[in-house]
């Protein structure tokens, strides 16, 4: 490697995050930041890292796409038989992270995870492009396969079977993370970053606190 990783440096100076300028409701604060990321045309602004816990407390991460956010929580869709699906079935808690590099911002969310209802999963599945709907049938996600040719053959098989109207596979649908913690990170100069943490108290009210960077 020609470049020393230890010598890489960046000064974060784009913005600041102050308690008086942030929303008391973390979801509204998140939606504001997400809209700013979309307006700034940040690549894959809806992409988020999903962390789950497996057998023996072993963590794993992957990137998924946010497909819904409201007062109930944050939603993504996937194969229930995947590694993350099995881990969530055994340990229904997860963490999400958005990293908008261009805005020097990170959002972290933690909470309990539950499946969305069938009607909601059906509605989203029907809105997907045809190739994506066939792909949900064709890919035995997280399983070992002999080669890419297996996927191509599966796609051809299910394409022939369902034509233009593939139904939602029973093993595919949505998850919703119901947050009990949020953290908003804004990069600042001299590594004195802004970190605002929100947590639910016993009364169900969001408490906002500043964390040291």
Residue 80, annotated ligand binder?
no
- What phi and psi values does residue 18 have, to the nearest 5 degrees? -115, 145
DSSP output for 29-53: HHHHHHHHHHHTT-TTTTEEEEEEE
Is 200 flagged in the annotation as binding?
A: no
Q: Where are any strands of DSSP class E within the chain?
A: 47-53, 59-65, 68-70, 73-79, 93-100, 105-115, 172-186, 194-200, 206-210
Judge whether 83 is annotated as a binding position: yes
Distance between CA 83 and CA 54 in Å, rounded? 9
Residue 63 annotated as binding site: yes
Catalytic residue among 108, 191, 199, 210: 191
Q: Is 191 a catalytic residue?
A: yes
Could you tell me how many residues make up the chain? 213
**187 neighbors 104 (Cβ within 8 angstroms):** yes
The response to whether 65 counts as a known ligand-binding position is: yes
Q: Is 177 flagged in the annotation as binding?
A: no
Q: Is 142 annotated as a binding residue?
A: yes
124 marked ligand binding residue: yes
10 known ligand binder: no
Binding residues for substrate: 67, 124, 128, 132, 191-193
Annotation: binding site for FMN: 62-67, 77-78, 83-84, 141-142, 185, 195
Q: Which residues are annotated as a binding site?
A: 62-67, 77-78, 83-84, 124, 128, 132, 141-142, 185, 191-193, 195
Catalytic residue list: 191
């Amino acid at each position: 490697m020609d470049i020393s990783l230890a010598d890489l440096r960046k000064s974060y100076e784009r913005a600041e995050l102050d308690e008086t300028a942030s929303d008391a409701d973390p979801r509204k604060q998140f939606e504001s930041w997400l809209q700013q990321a979309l307006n700034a045309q940040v690549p894959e602004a809806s992409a988020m890292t999903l962390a789950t816990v497996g057998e023996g407390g072993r963590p794993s991460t992957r990137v998924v796409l946010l497909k819904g956010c409201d007062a109930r929580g944050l939603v993504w869709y996937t194969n229930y038989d995947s590694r993350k699906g099995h881990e969530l079935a055994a340990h229904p808690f997860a963490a999400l992270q958005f990293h908008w590099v261009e805005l020097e911002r990170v959002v972290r969310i933690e909470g309990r995870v539950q499946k969305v209802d069938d009607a909601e999963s059906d509605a989203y599945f029907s809105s997907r492009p045809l190739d994506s709907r066939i792909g949900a049938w064709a890919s035995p996600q997280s399983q070992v396969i002999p080669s890419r040719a297996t996927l191509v053959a599966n796609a051809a098989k299910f394409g022939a079977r369902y034509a233009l109207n593939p139904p939602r596979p029973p093993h595919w649908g949505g998850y919703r993370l119901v947050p009990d913690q949020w953290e908003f990170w804004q990069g600042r100069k001299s590594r004195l970053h802004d970190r605002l943490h929100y947590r639910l108290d016993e009364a169900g009210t969001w408490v906002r606190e500043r964390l040291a960077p």
